[in-house]
Structure 1
Amino acid sequence: MQLKHLLEALPSPVSVPESAAAIEINEFAPLDKAKAGSISFLASAKYRRLLESSEASAILLTEKERENCPSSITAIVVDDPYLAYAYLSHQFDLTPKGSGHIHPTALVSDAAQIGRDVTIEAYAVIEADAEVGDNAHIGAHCIVSEGAKVGEFTRLQHHVTLLHRVEVGTHCLIQSGTVIGSNGFGYAPLPEGKGWQPIAQTGRVKIGHYVEIGANCTIDRGAIEDTVIEDRAIIDNLVHLAHNVTIGRATALAAQIGIAGSTHVGANCSAGGQSGFTGHINIADNSHFTGQAMVTKGTTEAGLYSSGIPAQASGLWRKMVARIRKLDSLFERVDAIEKKLK
């Protein structure tokens, strides 16, 4: 693909020297691995040292970095190189496109509503009263259960399960192995240790538009109210959302996060990997949590929040823990001294 044609995928026009417009670009590559025909990007000054030895044909960078670009490489000046890379990366996407056909081994109920140009791959199951919108793509071995809805241009990768009455909006992507609409963990204790009485989970899961959900996630349906994921949220692999959780617009959750029931996470929030949220709390818009945060209380204002102890040398860590164990006795001694001084 010629460089000038590739750059047409950017939302704003970018000027290219006439002598470089016809350069053939065939891949994105990191600065230190790029060859002739590669395009790369410089999004952080810490990688500036790689510019001099890079063999890329073109590099996305800011005006500030233009002077550091070797004359042998075409500098493409943009406001945000990483965002520009995100736009252009789709020109090299190798994900198979939909055929617009239903595979003969797929089981599609006569009572299901299937839109135009829908792809349904081998052994998928579409149950009665399910709805699949125009240009949707249902991967092999997926299940779209009774009364579930899949919006137009949404793609379910292989082995995705949408249980009854789940609603997924338009232009969404749900990766393989994810289960949406499983029963929430709702039980009432029986007397005298006789076990637990299950609570029927009568809510739904409602997912907005342009939402992306990673592989092997589990999203429980609501107990009474719905579990909700709002527009443009992104969820990484191996995330669990319990019943009645709400995830606000454009919020990002990294891998291995667990959010307990009835917690409401606001818009434009983010949480690092392995963070855990207790139930029945409210997280304010624009709250951000570093990895392994243990969130036991809600937030009332935007900000960056952290907990947990970063890894350090074992000897130092043991010394610190030993001192923590002495905090109670130290507190009592200080308290006694203060009383005497008074």
Structure 2
Amino acid sequence: MADSFQSSRPSSIPSSIKATRYSIAQIARHLDARIIGDENQIICAINSLADAQPGEISFLSDKRLQQELKSTRASAVLVNEATAEHCPVTAIIVDNPYAAYARTATLLYPQRIHIPGIHPSAIVDDNATIDITAWVGPGTVVEAGAVIEADAQIGPNCVIGKNVQIGKQTTLVASVTINHDCQLGERNLLHPGVVIGSDGFGQANDNGKWLKIPQLGRVIIGDDVEIGANTAIDRGAIKDTIIEDGVRIDNLVQIAHNVRIGADTVIAGQTGISGSTRIGKNCMFGGTVALAGHLTITDHVVLAGRSEVRQSIEEPGMYGSGTPLEPMKKWLKSAARFKQLDEMNKRLSALEKELAQLKNHSA
């Protein structure tokens, strides 16, 4: 287990990323899984079914890839009980192969941990508190009153505002801005370009002139949250903007002031959530979803990509809106007919009246 091994493989994984070696038995124990086959083989990398080589592990979570399973050269494959009998190599049997893949990849490729300390080029206020086990990278600014807890990793060129709190084992990859008074819990991961706690879009109109409304709230982020690159989460106007535990947010997402997102909700890229909307737990939003403000979305709601939500959703389930993809000629015809719907409705109403009159005359 102690050393790293670089496999010669047709893989897109950079050669600089080296896996830690584990036996199949060790991996199975980590997953609390059952093995059919040789448990003593050493695994040195993870790969797709089609590209895997001896010494590598793969997984099958999509039935459409069963043909690739039959021809895989992997030393072991993560499969469920139903698929195990079709596995030509050592099978590691789990309930959820995709989740097992995530845990195995994390085991083989643990997050890089920097040596604790503060880079000489970082600018740290004397009144900031940084745990001795934390790392602060080059060019980072840490302002007065900020607290960075044990084993936190603050990458290059980040800005940590006044009185910010960053919990244990939280990682800011690079160029992340956490504005004043915001709080991050433990084991969070924020990717480059994330901005937490900028002013919400609060403006009041006074006889045609816009007056800025001071944004006095904070952003509070729970534990085990991941936020993708260039996502912005605005501070509340008065109430806090709150992201609960286990939330996953993709790149380029805009979350406005006073929003609350429930635990273990996942939000795909380019989604926009307007102010004061409350989203429940265990929701899933596809890409480019748009939500109006002051809505309530209950738990366990799934929104298809490009959905436009203008009213609250009170029942769990799958929802969608928008125009699905179709061939251009067909779409142009549909668009033309859409513009004619009002006129067609009038004509239909007139025909229905005429039909009713004819029925009355014949009665």
User: How far is the alpha carbon of 1:95 from its aligned partner?
Assistant: 4.0
Q: What do you get for the CA RMSD once the two structures are aligned? A: 1.3
TM-score under structure 2 length normalisation: 0.90
Separation in 2, partners of 1:21, 1:196: 69
What pairs with 1:239-278 in structure 2 (closer than 5 Å)? 239-278=253-292
Deviates more, 1:319-328 or 1:198-207: 319-328
Contact 1:149 1:168 in 2 (8 A): yes
User: How far is the alpha carbon of 1:99 from its aligned partner?
Assistant: 1.0
Q: Residue 16 of structure 1: SS of its match in structure 2?
A: strand
Separation in 1, partners of 2:247, 2:54: 37
Partner of 2:333: 319
Partner of 1:206: 220
Q: Residue 334 of structure 1: SS of its match in structure 2?
A: helix
Does 2:84 align with 1:66?
yes
Contact 1:252 1:271 in 2 (8 A): yes
What pairs with 1:284-299 in structure 2 (closer than 5 Å)? 284-299=298-313
- Identity in percent: 40
What pairs with 1:41-190 in structure 2 (closer than 5 Å)? 41-70=59-88, 73-93=89-109, 95-190=111-206
Contact 1:34 1:40 in 2 (8 A): yes
User: How far is the alpha carbon of 1:6 from its aligned partner?
Assistant: 2.6
Separation in 2, partners of 1:8, 1:236: 32
Does 2:53 align with 1:35?
yes
Q: Residue 314 of structure 2: SS of its match in structure 1?
A: coil
User: How far is the alpha carbon of 1:4 from its aligned partner?
Assistant: 1.5
Separation in 1, partners of 2:216, 2:280: 24
User: How far is the alpha carbon of 1:53 from its aligned partner?
Assistant: 1.4
Separation in 2, partners of 1:65, 1:15: 13
Does 2:299 align with 1:280?
no
User: How far is the alpha carbon of 1:123 from its aligned partner?
Assistant: 1.4
Structure 1 stretches lacking a partner, 5+ long? none
TM-score under structure 1 length normalisation: 0.95
Separation in 1, partners of 2:80, 2:337: 49
Which one-letter code corresponds to 1:206 in the other structure? I
User: How far is the alpha carbon of 1:336 from its aligned partner?
Assistant: 2.6
Q: Residue 151 of structure 2: SS of its match in structure 1?
A: coil
Contact 1:7 1:88 in 2 (8 A): no
Match of 1:9 among 30, 53, 68: 30
Which one-letter code corresponds to 2:87 in the other structure? C
Separation in 1, partners of 2:127, 2:353: 79
Deviates more, 1:327-336 or 1:211-220: 327-336
CA displacement, residues 195-228 of structure 1 (integer Å, 9 cap, x when unaligned): 3110000010000111111111111000111111
User: How far is the alpha carbon of 1:122 from its aligned partner?
Assistant: 0.9
Contact 2:28 2:34 in 1 (8 A): no
Contact 1:103 1:122 in 2 (8 A): yes
CA displacement, residues 17-75 of structure 1 (integer Å, 9 cap, x when unaligned): 5x6222111111100001011100011111001112111000011111112111xx111
Separation in 1, partners of 2:137, 2:93: 42
User: How far is the alpha carbon of 1:116 from its aligned partner?
Assistant: 3.6
Separation in 1, partners of 2:61, 2:168: 34
Which one-letter code corresponds to 2:35 in the other structure? V
Separation in 1, partners of 2:25, 2:126: 48
Separation in 1, partners of 2:313, 2:324: 23
Which one-letter code corresponds to 1:27 in the other structure? A
Structure 2 stretches lacking a partner, 5+ long? 1-20, 358-363
Separation in 2, partners of 1:180, 1:51: 44
User: How far is the alpha carbon of 1:299 from its aligned partner?
Assistant: 0.1
User: How far is the alpha carbon of 1:323 from its aligned partner?
Assistant: 1.4
Ranges of 4+ aligned residues in structure 1 off by more than 6 Å: none
